[in-house]
Amino acid sequence: MIRAFLHRLAVLENGVLPTSLDIIVNEKVAPIHIIGAGLAGSEAAWQIASHGVSVVLHEMRPIKSTDAHITDHCAELVCSNSFRSDDAEANAVGVLHQEMREANSLIMACADKNTVPAGGALAVAREAFSETVTKALHDHPLITIERGEIDELPSADNGSCLVATGPLTSEPLSKSILAATGEDALAFFDAIAPIIYFDSIDMDRAWFQSRYDKKGPGGTGADYINCAMNEEEYKAFIAAMLEADKTEFKEWEKAKYFDGCLPIEVMAERGIDTPRFGPMKPVGLTNPHDPETDPYAVVQLRQDNKLGTLFNIVGFQTKMKYGAQSDVFRMIPGLENAQFARLGGIHRNTFLNSPKLLDDTLRLKSHPHLRFAGQITGCEGYVESAAIGLLTGRFLAAEALGHAAVPPPETTAFGALLGHITGGHLIDSNGGRRSFQPMNVNFGLFPPVEFSKRREDGSKMRGVEKQLSKKKALAKRALGDTRAWLEEISIAAQET
């Protein structure tokens, strides 16, 4: 290896990323190819290039688009604009955020650069975020972005390849993956929530407030727009939603929804009160227009762009047809005259039977020159997809440079998520194997931890207080073990 150059990286302002990288380039190592420039592929490319290995990042857009994408940007967000909770002290996804930041994550750096208020959550200005990611990748001297469809998996003669094509893998490539795996891919459908222009919302009926006035990154405690419903309004709304025209599927298609992204009308089909215990729960909110009356249900909208001109309806992914959406959603108090920047939609999501097909560093067992990352592996969520991209990028870079690909400890958020994908958590209470389904990171995937069950005065903790103590212990252990793992692999690389 030789020190090739000192690259001045002017990708982001204000020191969000280092202003310079001293890159050691191994000119004898063949470039690593990545198929798909979504969150996982973009993060993997950054990690590989940051370790001095060249990358060719293949993205079929805009040569060939999809039903869900609008731009040709890398890491375009097609569903929500939220990365969910940023609480690294007591929330699993918040812990994953922090682990990624400490591992030099491009996705997290760009998210932090483009935040919009969202209570305790980390939400981003959608287009500004993807533009920032795209510029960072384009400006990196070791990353080449090639536009055009890859319709089949490359052979081992072409070197290492990462497949990060996400939930919208093209039909030709899907067939090639099926041929290589010998498995039937599983499929379900993701639904997209509608986006509304702020100036069309009636703020004489709606109001700004976060649940329990909670603040988050860049937040004020009044980050959501809330629309209250009484019992009569709620029941009429649910009835109209259930009766509305829906997107129909062909006989051979079977919708397998991931519970974390259920269409709102599918929730309602499970019981009339299900939405009231989900995205429409009325807790932690007081309507200033009618402070004496407790809302029966509340619809929340979250800022979707930096300017605050667009808001998305939180948890309102839908498979209703466009005409029906306009009519039904305008039944919500405050949205009677709503103008939609984007109506909701539905798209297919395909993922592998990863515990059977992939090893513990996400190589395809039958074709070890291939790795997979992102939602196609069976993780769910923006952050989780990017995190798996980060890990596979590091695994690929390590192998290219002659180092061991060392998985993170299972006590970390990285390791817990990787363990789910590779099968470590597919054992039911009777010791038998259960079916593999997509999963967000959560503390249920982490090994047990010792934690304090008593207060400082020696009295026993109860209920929520006890659970919070447990979560804090899991989070503290995870971040400590992540730092130790990153230090371990850094020292090993220097010694090799």
- Please give the annotated binding residues for FAD, written as ranges: 36-41
Q: Which amino acid appears at position 8 of this protein?
A: R
- Cβ neighbours of 50 (radius 10 Å): 20
- Judged by DSSP in three states, 336 sits in coil
Q: Which amino acid appears at position 110 of this protein?
A: C
Rounded to whole angstroms, the Cα distance separating 193 from 78 reads 10
β-sheet bridge partners, residue 196:
311, 340
b/e map 239-265, b = 16+ CB within 10 Å = ebbeebebbeeeeeeeeebbeebbbbb
Contacts of 70 (CB under 8 A, 6+ apart): 76, 78
Rounded to whole angstroms, the Cα distance separating 491 from 493 reads 5
- Judged by DSSP in three states, 37 sits in coil
Longest C-alpha distance within the chain, in Å? Answer: 72
Contacts of 491 (CB under 8 A, 6+ apart): none
Give the CA angle between residues 305, 385, 321 to the nearest 5°: 55
Nearest CA to 329 out of 232, 262, 244 is that of: 244
Rounded to whole angstroms, the Cα distance separating 121 from 58 reads 31
Sign of the Cα pseudo-torsion (98, 96, 143, 65, in order)? negative
Query: How far does the chain reach from its first CA to its final CA, in angstroms?
Result: 12
> In terms of C-beta density within 10 A (0-12 exposed, 13-18 middle, 19 or more buried), how is residue 494 classed?
exposed
Rounded to whole angstroms, the Cα distance separating 337 from 467 reads 43
Alpha helices in 51-181 (DSSP H): 92-102, 106-113, 126-139, 171-181
Nearest CA to 287 out of 272, 273, 300 is that of: 300
Nearest CA to 46 out of 146, 141, 154 is that of: 141
